[in-house]
Chain A
Amino acid sequence: MSEMQSHSAILADKPESWNRPAVMEPEGEGELMEVAMGPHHPSTHGVFRMDVALDGERVMRLRPVFGYLHRNHEKIAEGQSYLASMPYTDRLDYICPITNNWAYALAVEKLAGQEVPERAEYLRVILGELTRFQNHASSIGFLTQEMGAMGTPLMYAFREREKILDLFEELTGARMMVNYMRFGGCRVDASPGWLERTRKVVAGLAGFVDEFDRLLSTNEILMARTQGVGVLKAELAVNAGVTGPMLRASGVNYDIRKVDGYGIYNRFNFRVPLGDHGDVYDRYMIRMLEMRESIGILQQALREIPAGPVMSPTAKLRGFRPKRGEAYGRIEAPKGELGFYLISNGGPNPYRYRVRPPSLINLTVLEDMCLGVNVADVVLIFGSVDIVLGEVDR
């Protein structure tokens, strides 16, 4: 009981302006039941623990505990060259290796003032949007898995994901850990055969999203379990630094592809879906709509991709020593704003290498969303945040 009292003292220190709900007090007599959800738990999306204090079935306090997958990524990066950290970035958000690579390459290119040829930018967009598509499909699949759909939507999502992973393997050599971006472009060029096969796959994606939509969006069970659950107010989301689909589901129009226009994104015609309520159903719907927008971007990019080199002629593979300075490169990763902050002291290794993990920052509002709900809803809310522990723990 004493541990609970000190815990509430910590929670009570938060300023009122954060719009947090008051820390809940249990009704009636008795103690709170403390349950550790995880790290061995099929629905924690990886090794993640939530210490919840329950009054019956309702959550009174929730404390996230992570670090079970900490692999010293940032410290290892200080001891090796910039190129050697590229395969490690694949393993951060391991569902979306391409976007991790891209954010890191962007940061290093900013640091070194490196240009990227146009064909490489188009290839980056094509692979990035394919990654976003398969990430959102898998995320919806995992969410419905946790609702008890026993894997059917997940397996349909994985069927499309397999096609996309086959494209990745054909181009880069590996299905997931692609190690494809380099500082100044992409590692290998895409053959015309690959572009044809990609066009075929993209042509089938719209039919898949329609099927997925018909399967899930009007399902009464899904609507009953997700509408009104885990509401995140826009003001709290912005104050807590939440980004990505979670922020847009709360109604805030902030997509880094539109705001920064990194790469060549300002050439593409796409909309940014926004949610009205900020509940789990909105986050699910946002991902569904973003999948459709990704298809639009893919079709446009595959039409317009020019010929040319994929590596800048001034790019160096070995002996790469950027000048002293710092750079922050960020992209709209499928999970949110993924940023790399690099400080160089002129040597071959970075002096400081910092990853801004969207999954971790989005998790900081987990308790606010989960107070007062049932344990089953905690699982859903946690699933709608869409985290990957590789990114949370690095």
Chain B
Amino acid sequence: MLGEGILKGMAETAKNFFGSYFSAERLTTVEYPEQRIAPYEAARVFPFLVFDGSDWEAGMRCVACQICEKECPPKCIFIEKSKDKKPDALGKQQFYPARFDIDISVCMSCQICVEVCPFEAIKMDTEYELSTDNRFGGLLLDRRQLAKSNQYYHQIHPAEADGVDARLAAEKAKADAKTKITAEAKTAAIAGEGA
């Protein structure tokens, strides 16, 4: 009969329409902003700089090696190295970024800066409600705005942050073991000279 295909199709439509009152499978939207879907752990929006402890300047892991600046595809990271050095988590004297700006209107959230960073200093944030009405610099984040604590990192990416902490602790243990061996060798040498 003519129109049979159309009627079959309308039966499908009716199934979906009335079904959406009963099954969550068929009603897949949420009423944003009253309801929000939690982001996945792996979600990435824009980068941020991790700092350990409570002082964002002293605890910042970034040593201004500028690898992320070189590898960034749209070149949205602008770094200026400091003139002096400060001690890092392992006690070594390192440079730090006097200026670390990311232009998030250019950033394409590709995560290459995170992949190439050798110091676990830059990670991806999940904050996406970032609109601003300041068109002349509202989307250029400086290092103060980018600095977020390691606790915050644990909140947004728990498994990843645990892995990073484990790696850094292993590095610290290796460095400590090396200094212990060097210190013991030194005391043994001094004792040997004395005897």
Contacts and interface: CB of A to CB of B under 8 A. Distances in A.
Interface in A215-271: 215-223
B109 A177 contact: yes
Given A84-B71, A220-B6, A318-B71, A177 B110 contact: yes
Secondary structure call for the A interface = helix
B109 A88 contact: no
A87 B42 contact: no
Interface in B1-26: 2-6, 8-9, 11-13, 16, 26
Given A84-B71, A172-B42, A220 B110 contact: no
A162 B28 contact: yes
A84 B44 CA distance: 18
A20 B109 CA distance: 46
Given A87-B108, A173-B124, A179-B110, A216 B9 contact: yes
Given A87-B110, A174-B109, A81 B71 contact: yes
A80 B73 contact: yes
B122 to A, nearest CB: 14
B13 A215 contact: yes
Contacts of A173: 40, 42-44, 111, 124
A370 interface: no
B40 A169 contact: yes
B115 interface: yes
Contacts, number: 78
A215 B12 contact: yes
Interface string B109-140: 11110011000000010000000000000000
Given A173-B43, A177-B109, A88 B115 contact: no
Interface residues of B, number: 30
B67 interface: yes
Contact of A317 (B11, B16, B110, B116): B116
Interface in A47-102: 80-81, 83-88
A171 interface: yes
Contacts of A219: 5-6, 8-9
Contact of A170 (B5, B11, B40): B40
Nearest to B39: A169
B73 A88 contact: yes
A31 interface: no
A176 B71 CA distance: 22
Nearest to B11: A214
A220 B71 contact: no
Contacts of A187: 115
A272 B119 CA distance: 49
B3 A220 contact: yes
A70 to B, nearest CB: 17
Contact of B8 (A85, A88, A218): A218
Contacts of A177: 108-110
Nearest to A153: B9
A83 B112 contact: yes
A156 B5 contact: no
A40 interface: no
A215 B9 contact: yes
A170 B42 contact: yes
A188 B44 CA distance: 14
Interface in B84-121: 108-112, 115-116
Contacts of B3: 220
Contact of A159 (B28, B72, B115): B28
A164 B93 CA distance: 47
A211 interface: yes
Nearest to B110: A87
B108 A218 contact: no
B116 A220 contact: no
B67 A318 contact: yes
Query: Closest 3 A-B residue pairs measured CB to CB?
Result: A218-B5, A87-B110, A84-B73
7 contacts: A84-B71, A166-B40, A170-B40, A173-B44, A179-B110, A215-B13, A220-B5
Given A171-B42, A179-B111, 17 more contacts: A85-B73, A87-B110, A152-B13, A162-B28, A169-B40, A170-B41, A174-B109, A211-B12, A214-B12, A215-B8, A215-B12, A218-B5, A219-B5, A219-B6, A219-B8, A223-B5, A318-B67
